[in-house]
Amino acid sequence: MDPGDARSLDGLTGPGFCVTIGDMKGEGIRSAKRPYRMVARAEAARATANRVLDVALELFTDRPYEDVSVEEIAQRAEVTKRTVLRRFGSKEALFLAAMERGGREEMQARDEASVRDVPAAVANVVAHYERWGANRLRLLSQEDRIAVVAEDVEIGRRYHWSWVERTFAPLIAGLKGAARRRRIAALVALTDVYTWKLLRRDLGLSQAETERTLAELIHKLEGEL
């Protein structure tokens, strides 16, 4: 080796020069893993919350509010009661969250109802009751004694009225005052969950027969225009 080269090497390794060797590749991998773990934890938390809400919705549909406990919801969702309370705070808050989750699903489906096609609109609301009727009937039977249930029922009641106004707008157009309110009230009653229960459960009509009966009754209102 050329002496000059040796001097150059000596200069690089002398006291005035310091080289820090780190596991830069390993640190980069760890940095990349941190956001991934955060995302994975967030997704796991969402999945747990959704599982708890699904169980809560099922139990609050099948049983009176008082007969559903946070302990059982947690057990069925395979989490601890502490996890449920840390996420939702209380049984009342969990109930409202579960109903809101179910409500978003049902409103999304009902908002797809055709405005100018009465049979299609009727099929939409009957299909809704086939899916959610048991839930609504259970809640309606408790609204007079449980405040948190009454709150949810009132939200559903207001939504149904607005849905009727929007979906059956051609049958309401031109009416004003008391006449308009009576027409809307008639349409609300014909498409109410209790009317569905009467036809489907009490009188034993099939889903198709129920749809046809309701459509015929609504068309009679249409003929009065």
DSSP string, 126-191: HHHHHHHHHHHHHHHTTTTT-HHHHHHHHHHHHHHHHHHHHHTHHHHTT--HHHHHHHHHHHHHHT
pLDDT computed for residue 213 by the predictor: 98
- Residue 53 sits in which domain range? 26-100
Domains of the chain: total:
2
Instruction: Classify residue 86: in a domain, yes or no.
Output: yes
Mean pLDDT of 70-76: 95
pLDDT computed for residue 207 by the predictor: 97
Same domain, residue pair 47 and 135: no
The residue ranking higher by pLDDT, 209 or 40, is 209
Instruction: Classify residue 209: in a domain, yes or no.
Output: yes
Site of tokens 């390794």: 13
> Final residue of a domain: which of 52, 69, 100?
100
> Final residue of a domain: which of 36, 70, 100?
100
pLDDT computed for residue 34 by the predictor: 65
Give the model confidence (pLDDT) of 95-123 as tens digits.
999 999 888 888 888 999 888 899 999 99
pLDDT computed for residue 9 by the predictor: 41
Q: Does residue 56 register a pLDDT over 80?
A: yes
Looking at every residue in the chain, the average pLDDT score rounds to: 85
> Final residue of a domain: which of 57, 76, 100?
100
Give the model confidence (pLDDT) of 157-201 as tens digits.
999 999 999 999 999 998 999 999 999 999 999 999 999 999 999
pLDDT computed for residue 12 by the predictor: 43
Mean pLDDT of 16-31: 53
pLDDT computed for residue 224 by the predictor: 57
pLDDT computed for residue 221 by the predictor: 84
Same domain, residue pair 123 and 88: no
Give the model confidence (pLDDT) of 120-170 as tens digits.
999 999 999 999 999 899 999 999 999 999 999 999 999 999 999 999 999
Residue 39 — very low, low, confident or very high, per pLDDT cuts 50/70/90?
A: low
Mean pLDDT of 220-224: 73
Same domain, residue pair 166 and 186: yes
Same domain, residue pair 121 and 224: yes
Same domain, residue pair 89 and 148: no
pLDDT computed for residue 27 by the predictor: 57
Q: Does residue 89 register a pLDDT over 50?
A: yes
pLDDT computed for residue 8 by the predictor: 42
pLDDT computed for residue 222 by the predictor: 72
